[in-house]
Amino acid sequence: MLELLKFNPRIWFLLGFLGCVFLLGMGAYFQLVDGLEPCPLCISQRIAIALTGLCFLVAAIHNPQRPGIKIYAITGAVIALCGGAVSTRHVWIQHLPPDKVPECGPGLEYVFQNFPLSATIKLMLNGTGDCAEVNWQFLGFSMPAWTLLAFLLLASLSLLQIWNKTAD
């Protein structure tokens, strides 16, 4: 059974990339088909998923030797953990008492057009009252909670490549 899991790092990075594509596809489905508009923190998480997936894709295409695998593994894990930090903040905002929830701000489109990039990034990372809404749940967990789990799994998959000896 364990022999089936002994893929070389290139395959694992490709599987991580495909996982990121799946997550982005689910986000697009919920937005375009179910009509769930993403809040600033959701968009930040999507960017982190895309960056993690890009790191995994480059690693799979490059197919580096052991030192390169370590660099890609650490880079992928750091990006995924940064996304996990955003997801953690999102889950925290969703669990705040109603009187502690941040004010709802203007839409991101308006902010992009009328404010400097630094203000837009601050809004995307701090979240707004829109981020406190729980519009979807599965098994009692909100979408940001599932995204946090996905980021932790992606970071783990990435770091495990450091100890994956099938590349040697």
Supply the CATH number for residue 49's domain: 1.20.1550.10
Using an 8 Å Cβ cutoff, are 162 and 10 in contact?
no
What contacts 98, CB < 8 A, 6 or more positions away?
Answer: none
| DSSP-derived secondary structure letter, 33 | T
For 96, the token pair is 């705040």
Q: What is the mean pLDDT of residues 143-156?
A: 96
| DSSP-derived secondary structure letter, 36 | -
Q: Is 4 among the domain residues?
A: no
Count of domains observed in the chain: 1
Tell me what percent of the residues of the chain surpass a pLDDT of 70. 84
Q: Is 29 among the domain residues?
A: yes
Q: 92 vs 111, which has greater pLDDT?
A: 92
Q: How high is the pLDDT of residue 164?
A: 81
- Whole-angstrom Cα distance, residue 45 to residue 49? 6
Q: How high is the pLDDT of residue 8?
A: 86
Q: Is 153 among the domain residues?
A: yes
- Domain residues for the domain of 109 are 9-163
Q: Is 130 among the domain residues?
A: yes
Q: How high is the pLDDT of residue 114?
A: 73
Q: Is 125 among the domain residues?
A: yes
Per-residue pLDDT at 126 exceeds 50? yes
- Whole-angstrom Cα distance, residue 15 to residue 9? 10
Q: 147 vs 36, which has greater pLDDT?
A: 147
Instruction: Using pLDDT thresholds of 50, 70 and 90, give the confidence band for residue 1.
Output: very low
Q: Is 3 among the domain residues?
A: no
- Whole-angstrom Cα distance, residue 89 to residue 51? 19
Q: How high is the pLDDT of residue 2?
A: 44
Mean model confidence pLDDT for the chain: 85
Per-residue pLDDT at 97 exceeds 80? yes
Per-residue pLDDT at 128 exceeds 70? no
Q: How high is the pLDDT of residue 79?
A: 97
Cα–chain-centroid distance for residue 112?
A: 22
Q: How high is the pLDDT of residue 118?
A: 79
Q: 24 vs 66, which has greater pLDDT?
A: 24
Q: Is 27 among the domain residues?
A: yes
What contacts 88, CB < 8 A, 6 or more positions away?
Answer: 148
Give the range among 6-10, 54-58, 69-73 with minimum mean pLDDT. Answer: 6-10
Count the helices and strands in the chain (H runs, E runs).
6, 2
Q: Is 80 among the domain residues?
A: yes
